[in-house]
Amino acid sequence: MHQSLLLPQPSLSVRPFCRNAAAPSLHRHVHRVSASAVTISAPCRETDPKKRVVITGMGLVSVFGNEVDNYYEKLLEGESGIGLIDRFDASKFPTKFAGQIREFASEGYIDGKNDRRLDDSLRYCLVSGKKALESAGIAVGSEEHKKIEKVRAGVLVGTGMGGLSVFSDGVHTLFDKGFRKITPFFVPYVITNMGSALLGMEVGFMGPNYSISTACATSNYCFYAAANHIRRGEADIMLAGGTEAAIIPIGLGGFVACRALSQRNDDPKTASRPWDKDRDGFVMGEGAGVLVMESLEHAMKRDAPILAEYLGGAVNCDAYHMTDPRADGLGVSSCIKQSLDASGVAPEEVNYINAHATSTLAGDLAEVNAIKQVFKNTSEIKINGTKSMIGHCLGASGGLEAIATIKAIKTGWLHPTINQFNIEPAVEFDTVPNVKKQHEVNVAISNSFGFGGHNSVVVFAPFKP
């Protein structure tokens, strides 16, 4: 027998993260101390104030209105924003409900002429982006806004579906009236980069500006990319997030054709029920969520309100199926592990997960099983599903859920996952069922996954100087 096999079994201990390294490692290291003890240390977190990324502002458009505090208060109350669609006649569709935004208010943020012709995804983007800047103390036209070095300020707001209303209207015009009647704004308002472009024009940010479209993972991809622009020294401040407005006949019909939607028409408010045994599909939602992300150095120079710290993130692909998750969970579990390594976080430090949790038969349990591959002890972790109340906002979902995650960090309260009537036994997590819970967040992750197998995870924590 080999001599090493006769040694006593090593014991494991986890060393707290360090903040004294100039260049953080992206991999976990194992240090052999003796034959009987092995210390596992998480990689060090970023310490360079030029590369530490903080959140200084948030803006949104949601089924609960355009104010962040009111949005989170509604979530804490466990209020459902789901109801019957009245924007168009949905009576012949097998799904007749959604998280439809009503009485959207854009006054003071978009001029009347543009407001009338813009696609809703663009309107939501402009309002949420400008509100995020207001929240960060740099409202457009203010003295603080004038001080921003515009060539080092960027915009990265993505969308999964683009200007779907304008596209649909253009197709109808082509067939009903001919090509000469198509609006000259058809192409500009359909393409997915126009939200970032228009927002950049409105606020004067001349730095990195583009969009990412990775279906329902879009917003997290944008946060990840925006933070990397800051860490590479290409920008001091970024507006990042996602926007979506797909609750129109072709959008609803498309997801019906995918057999992805709940058909609980008799009780829409209980239709979105992540992890419940009787879930029957997701509920469409819409809106936008945008964060102001900036380097710690830049934020401190202007005495900005720091809401939380973005520690890191990761993106990858299942490389498996257009719509179904991998059964082995490898894509999601490796994405979570990579996000923690990039953030300098050990799994034991995470105690809150804002889950993707769409209320689909396969997706909910696939996510939970992947999470359990990373976090061996689930007793200290709270996990909740924002979509149980606002529906699945597609490319905007990660933006709206990041805001919920940061509000949880700031308030010490987690919103419930509503409609938890008969939870799957395999979940084994505290899903914050039906009633909010007080919980001091140490480190939080927010998951978003999209058609095509796109996986994304971002990591937030309370800001500590």
What residues are labeled active site? 216
Beta strands in 114-217 (DSSP E): 153-158, 209-210
> Could you give the CA distance from residue 386 to residue 418 in angstroms, rounded to a whole number?
9
Determine contact, residues 283/31, Cβ cutoff 8 Å. Answer: no
Give the helix/strand (H/E) hosting 222.
Answer: helix 218-231
Among 64, 104, 248, smallest CA distance to 171 is for 248
> Could you give the CA distance from residue 429 to residue 85 in angstroms, rounded to a whole number?
33
What are 313's strand-pairing partners? 458
CA-to-CA dists, residue 399 to 15, 99, 135, 144, 284, angstroms:
33, 16, 15, 25, 15
For 319, phi then psi, to 5°, come to: 50, 50
Is the dihedral angle over the CA atoms 191, 195, 196, 200 positive or is it negative? positive
For 161, phi then psi, to 5°, come to: -110, -15
> Could you give the CA distance from residue 50 to residue 53 in angstroms, rounded to a whole number?
8
Among 13, 26, 86, smallest CA distance to 248 is for 86
> Could you give the CA distance from residue 11 to residue 93 in angstroms, rounded to a whole number?
59
For 249, phi then psi, to 5°, come to: -55, -45
> Could you give the CA distance from residue 299 to residue 301 in angstroms, rounded to a whole number?
6
> Could you give the CA distance from residue 358 to residue 349 in angstroms, rounded to a whole number?
25
Residue 291 one-letter amino acid? L
Other beta carbons within 10 Å of 408: 28
Q: Which two tokens stand for residue 16?
A: 């707290």
> Could you give the CA distance from residue 390 to residue 367 in angstroms, rounded to a whole number?
19
Q: Which two tokens stand for residue 15?
A: 């060393």
Exposed (0-12), middle (13-18) or buried (19+): which is 8, by Cβ within 10 Å? exposed
- Matching residue, tokens 């009338």: 116
